[in-house]
């Protein structure tokens, strides 16, 4: 379900919207942030790109399924899949690398709906990641759920909803987020059995219903709230435009961050 929104009137989900989220596993709020706010977040992503790339020179490099990862302290950097690429794909966690991202964690337009979804207040942050999806080379993400990544670190994986905030317009040609509507109702699903190193983290093809697949095209400044069990992914970026987005994952208050094991309480 997609609804129009604006910085002035965005607030809690209505009963209808919350029902739609529960039914479909996701809800889109278009134009949640102003153009000025979006520009600030884009600037923060440039800051993180530069600082994380510098950090990578001092981290531990390893390869999974032929793709480069670098661990620097509590942080994991993923690089684009082309051989020898120096372009960042994902940085996790990321909220503490830019003040604009820290402020976004506490934004009531995100926190209020998350309190409704989780059924708790106060909240804590579980994790945060920045997806760069660079123009022309941004690789896709295969169909997956987040819950298999987290099931061994959380005792309450059902209460770890995400919100993706788009810094750029999301379209088919630049790799917009895709979801399998209603797939969250099946819980944590089996992974692929294809012999790859990460086979368990990608959802088995038998559980992908083509008729339920939805591409979430939306303007910059929009947000997608989605369930940790929702199957989702994205295509590659074949366009001349970036498709940057931050994903914040919340949990009931008092819980610790996935990577650092320290608590980051939400201030609201």
Greater pLDDT, 84 or 108: 108
Does residue 8 register a pLDDT over 60? no
β-bridge partners, 88: 79
Work out the average pLDDT over 213-218: 98
Segment 58-101, tens digit of pLDDT = 999 999 999 999 999 999 999 999 888 899 999 999 999 999 99
First to last CA, the chain: 27
Give the angle subtended at the CA of 78 by the CAs of 173 and 184, to the nearest 5°: 65
User: How many residues are given for the chain?
Assistant: 268
Does residue 202 register a pLDDT over 90? yes
Does residue 132 register a pLDDT over 50? yes
Does residue 192 register a pLDDT over 60? yes
- Residue 11 has a pLDDT of 87
- Residue 134 has a pLDDT of 97
Does residue 231 register a pLDDT over 60? yes
Work out the average pLDDT over 102-121: 97
User: Phi-psi category of 137—alpha, beta or left, where left has phi over 0 and alpha has psi -120 to 50?
Assistant: alpha
Does residue 4 register a pLDDT over 80? no
DSSP for residue 155:
S
Work out the average pLDDT over 239-253: 98
- Residue 74 has a pLDDT of 96
Question: What's the CA dihedral at 109, 115, 118, 124 to 10 degrees?
Answer: 90
Does residue 199 register a pLDDT over 80? yes
Give the three-class secondary structure for 224.
strand
- Residue 13 has a pLDDT of 97
Does residue 7 register a pLDDT over 50? no
Percent over 70 (pLDDT), the chain: 96
Sign of CA dihedral 221, 227, 228, 232: negative
Work out the average pLDDT over 159-183: 98
Does residue 242 register a pLDDT over 50? yes
Q: What pTM value is reported for the model?
A: 0.95
Work out the average pLDDT over 231-249: 98
| Alpha carbon distance 250, 230 (integer Å) | 15
2-16, 60-74, 128-142, 239-253: least confident range:
2-16
- What does the mean pLDDT of the chain come to? 95
- Residue 82 has a pLDDT of 83
Segment 136-148, tens digit of pLDDT = 999 999 999 999 9
Cα-based distances in Å from 48 to 42, 130, 168, 247, 255: 10, 9, 16, 15, 26
- Residue 268 has a pLDDT of 77
Percent over 90 (pLDDT), the chain: 93
């Amino acid at each position: 379900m997609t609804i129009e929104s604006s910085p002035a009137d965005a607030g809690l989900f209505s009963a209808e919207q919350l029902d739609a989220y529960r039914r479909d596993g996701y809800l889109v709020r278009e134009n949640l942030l102003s153009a000025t706010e979006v520009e600030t977040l884009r600037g923060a992503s440039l800051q993180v790109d530069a600082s994380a790339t510098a950090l990578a020179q001092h981290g531990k490099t390893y390869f999974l399924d032929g793709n480069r990862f670098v661990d620097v302290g509590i942080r994991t950097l993923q690089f684009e899949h082309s051989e020898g690429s120096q372009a960042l794909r994902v940085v996790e966690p990321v909220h503490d690398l830019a003040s604009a991202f820290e402020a976004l964690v506490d934004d009531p337009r995100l926190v209020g709906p998350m309190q409704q979804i989780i059924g708790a207040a106060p909240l804590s942050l579980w994790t945060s990641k920045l997806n760069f999806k660079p123009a022309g080379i941004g690789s896709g993400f295969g169909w997956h759920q987040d819950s298999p990544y987290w099931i061994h670190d959380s005792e309450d994986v059902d209460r770890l909803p995400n919100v993706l905030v788009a810094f750029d317009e999301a379209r088919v040609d630049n790799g917009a987020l895709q979801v399998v509507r209603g797939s969250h109702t099946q819980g944590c699903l089996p992974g692929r059995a294809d012999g790859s190193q990460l086979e368990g983290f990608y959802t088995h093809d038998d559980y992908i219903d083509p008729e339920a697949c939805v591409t979430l095209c939306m303007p910059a400044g929009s947000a997608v709230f989605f369930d940790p069990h929702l199957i989702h992914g994205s295509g590659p970026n074949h366009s001349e435009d970036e498709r940057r987005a931050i994903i914040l994952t919340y949990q009931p208050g008092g819980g610790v961050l996935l990577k650092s094991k320290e608590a980051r309480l939400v201030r609201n």
